[in-house]
Structure 1
Amino acid sequence: MGWQPGEKLRNGQYTIIRELGRGRFGITYLARDKQGETCVIKTLSDDLINQLIPSDLERLQDKIWQEATKLAHCQHPHIVKLKESFKEGDRVCLAMEHIAGETLEHLPNKILPESVALEYIRQIGSALTCVHEKGFVHRDVKPANIVLRAGKSEVVLIDFGLARGFDNPLTTVEAFTADGFAPSELYHVDSEQKPYTDVYSLSATLYVLLTGTIPASAMDRSLQKAQLIPPKQLNSQISDRTNTAILEGLKLAPEDRPQNINEWLKLLPSGHQNLVLPQIDPMLFWGIVAAIAAVLGMIPAWVALFKPSSPPPPSPSPPVIEQPEKS
């Protein structure tokens, strides 16, 4: 059923403006708080609640509550801010910062210049490092969950997949159509999820930003032997280092990938490596070198020519004349 515009939550603290969207796990609403500021309210979807037995629903909401507490401690410029978590009726709600802007999924230019894409990825990589240091994994990194702030070159990580860490078939990725951002360990309840899980999803995100194409899913690659097309084959402008980094991050086996975000980021080219230097004719190059050498060789002569002469010796002091003594 969901909440309707004008409906009040948390004893009137929040007023629903409209529904922003809904997925398999949750519903997202735009709301206004008592101070008149807009915010986002996230809660579990009615479909999911109706399919879970009461004990599983309680465990799931406890899990979300615990993860939300960790998220609240992730104060980072590229992570959406959690205002508070509360219970409305029988469901947990998360009140979060509302970020004006578009998700990377909806940018008008589907293929970004490499330098721009790498800057966005480094920002999100920094955010994920903060998340991992607080003891949990995002699990849902993809362009649709990254917002580019309006009028700025800043991206923000949103929509943490909190419910994906719950060990119930209804809340695992097995219940989803295979997508290109989820690594193999997210398809199995008993698989361990660590920072390398987000490495895979971040690599897939960079793949999309540079090619406009979603990579073959981990499920299709492992079960149906689908081929992962190297991104450089889809966009020849991609540097070799970036191409290699993406492929390393998209390895199917978790142990074959970089084990954390910083390890993976080091595989990417640094800023100065993205510069393309102009080609210079060899004869012109050596002519310039000779000219510079000649100029440098003339410097001592110029210094000697313009060096001021030694100052004249000081004038002798006037003699001191003693006054004769008076008799």
Structure 2
Amino acid sequence: MRGPHQERTRVGRDGRFELVEHVGSGGFGHVWRARDSVLAREVALKFLALDRLVGRRPNPERLAIVRDRFARESLIAAKVDSAYVARIYDCDIDGDEPFLVMEYVDGRPLSDYLGSRPLPLARTCRWSRQIAQGLAAAHDRSVVHRDIKPVNVLVREADSDVRIVDFGLSRFVDATETHSEAGTPLYMSPERCRAEPGDERSDLYSLGCVMYEMVTGWPPFGDEHAEAFALARAHEEQLPMRPGQAAGVPAPLDDLIMALLAKEPRQRPDNARVVVRAIAEVERLLGDTGPESSPEEGPADGAHRAGTGFADRLSAAELNVRHLTTQHGRDHHLVITARMELADLTGRSGDTRGAADLYDRIGRDCDDWYGPGNSLALDAFEGMARWVVARGTTGSQRTS
């Protein structure tokens, strides 16, 4: 498998691709940022780990079969056309290593945004809808991903939109007859856990797992340290705690996630376009149900409220934070101010939990950068306290 310190700088027919930077490694192989000398554009090259797929001493006939299958699967995946799917431009071979030529996405994986805390609801809905739209475009072409997970969703630096990567690779791995079944146990559907091929609704189950983690801060079952067998049993037999038990998750979003996590494929939404419409309806409820509210007042009736176009304002505020961070660095006072404005905007949309979490992160960062007791840190923790109070007020209104 091509390592990160490869001596050669050009690969492909006639040295078409110049290797620029090793981006990362994974179960399928290595990824490089490269320059296409023919079309004068940046691309990503994904080299496949043949030793995983065909063994360390494959015979020539076996290699030829795998290469042909790789070319066929690449051709199928290349037909997917969506703004939310990283395009596959070509496939090639360098020595014994086949590689994909893909759209280069300048951004970070969704997994970098996940942790022990939920994401703000507006961001959760936006990214979930975009993933569903990408899946819908793929499923229209009868292309199933089979390994939807946070590391296979990249968030672009330029506009904070997502791109799904690795379409076609899981199907290719499944077809190699090496017993190295593709998929990630934390996000694998019950039927895939049973080694069944699965279909479009398997992707929807995995999307449900990713959405669950976005709104709660943790996957529906286990963590990255859990045994694969135990995770498979959980996906097949257990029901996760409803995400709506975490305060602040709207009932329609809670119901949608639980529907996506249904054990039987036929009990899940019919297709990805149904999911897109359901998320869009949640976004409408978040964005069009009433006037803005202050931290002291909270949402007037316990629902998520915001003015018309609030989702666009949140997106613009997020981009402003990213741009200022690029220009000045994370610890600049302009970045901190922009993050506080984003936190307040999040709270006024009705996501009081999200606002409190954002302020808490700002306070912790300021503590680390400037030391405990710094005025910016104190301002941030005061902002967190305001939205915690607003959240508690909202919760009491819901239960009264």
TM norm structure 1: 0.74
- Any idea what SS the aligned residue of 2:82 has? coil
Q: State yes or no: 1:216 paired with 2:227.
A: no
1:222 shift after superposition: 5.1
Q: Which of 32, 42, 47 in structure 1 is aligned with 2:46?
A: 42
Alignment of 1:49-88 (within 5 A): 49=53, 51=55, 53-54=58-59, 55-88=61-94
- Any idea what SS the aligned residue of 2:257 has? helix
- Any idea what SS the aligned residue of 1:180 has? helix
> What is the aligned partner in structure 2 of residue 232 from structure 1?
244
- In the alignment, is the contact (CA less than 8 A) between 1:199 and 1:261 conserved in 2? yes
Q: State yes or no: 1:7 paired with 2:15.
A: no
The 3 A distance-change label for structure 1 pair 188 and 108 is closer
Q: Which of 193, 199, 202 in structure 2 is aligned with 1:197?
A: 202
Q: State yes or no: 1:144 paired with 2:151.
A: yes
1:56 shift after superposition: 5.0
- In the alignment, is the contact (CA less than 8 A) between 2:81 and 2:138 conserved in 1? no
Distance 2:29 2:174 in 1: 14
1:161 shift after superposition: 4.9
Distance 2:54 2:103 in 1: 28
The 3 A distance-change label for structure 1 pair 112 and 227 is same
Q: Identity, % of aligned pairs?
A: 23
Opposite residue 254 of structure 2, the aligned amino acid is N
Q: State yes or no: 1:31 paired with 2:34.
A: yes
Runs of 4+ in structure 1 deviating by more than 6 angstroms, as ranges, are none
RMSD: 2.6
1:186 shift after superposition: 2.1
- In the alignment, is the contact (CA less than 8 A) between 2:132 and 2:275 conserved in 1? no
Q: CA offsets, 1:283-320, max 9 Å, x none?
A: xxxxxxxxxxxxxxxxxxxxxxxxxxxxxxxxxxxxxx
Distance 1:51 1:98 in 2: 29
Q: CA offsets, 1:1-41, max 9 Å, x none?
A: 51515432112101223332222232222222216533211
Distance 2:209 2:235 in 1: 16
- Any idea what SS the aligned residue of 2:83 has? coil
Task: Identify the range of structure 1 (240-249 vs 45-54) with the bigger mean alpha-carbon deviation.
Answer: 45-54
More helix by share: 2
1:146 shift after superposition: 1.1
The 3 A distance-change label for structure 1 pair 105 and 5 is farther
- In the alignment, is the contact (CA less than 8 A) between 2:53 and 2:178 conserved in 1? no
1:82 shift after superposition: 1.6
The 3 A distance-change label for structure 1 pair 150 and 165 is same
Q: Which of 160, 166, 179 in structure 1 is aligned with 2:175?
A: 166
The 3 A distance-change label for structure 1 pair 123 and 258 is same
1:57 shift after superposition: 4.4
Task: Identify the range of structure 1 (56-65 vs 247-256) with the bigger mean alpha-carbon deviation.
Answer: 56-65
Opposite residue 48 of structure 2, the aligned amino acid is L
- In the alignment, is the contact (CA less than 8 A) between 2:114 and 2:213 conserved in 1? no
The 3 A distance-change label for structure 1 pair 61 and 6 is closer
Distance 2:83 2:275 in 1: 21
Alignment of 1:243-254 (within 5 A): 243-254=254-265
> What is the aligned partner in structure 1 of residue 132 from structure 2?
125
1:137 shift after superposition: 0.2
- Any idea what SS the aligned residue of 2:167 has? coil
Opposite residue 23 of structure 1, the aligned amino acid is G
Q: Which of 262, 279, 293 in structure 1 is aligned with 2:300?
A: 279
Number of residue pairs matched by the alignment: 274
- In the alignment, is the contact (CA less than 8 A) between 1:27 and 1:43 conserved in 2? yes
Unaligned runs of 5+ in 1: 281-327
> What is the aligned partner in structure 1 of residue 25 from structure 2?
22
Q: State yes or no: 1:94 paired with 2:103.
A: no
Distance 2:62 2:235 in 1: 31
- Any idea what SS the aligned residue of 2:185 has? coil
Opposite residue 212 of structure 1, the aligned amino acid is G
Opposite residue 256 of structure 1, the aligned amino acid is Q
> What is the aligned partner in structure 1 of residue 113 from structure 2?
107
Alignment of 1:245-324 (within 5 A): 245-268=256-279, 269-275=281-287, 277=290, 279=300
Distance 2:124 2:88 in 1: 26
Q: CA offsets, 1:29-69, max 9 Å, x none?
A: 22222165332111211431552744554444333322211
- In the alignment, is the contact (CA less than 8 A) between 2:54 and 2:178 conserved in 1? no
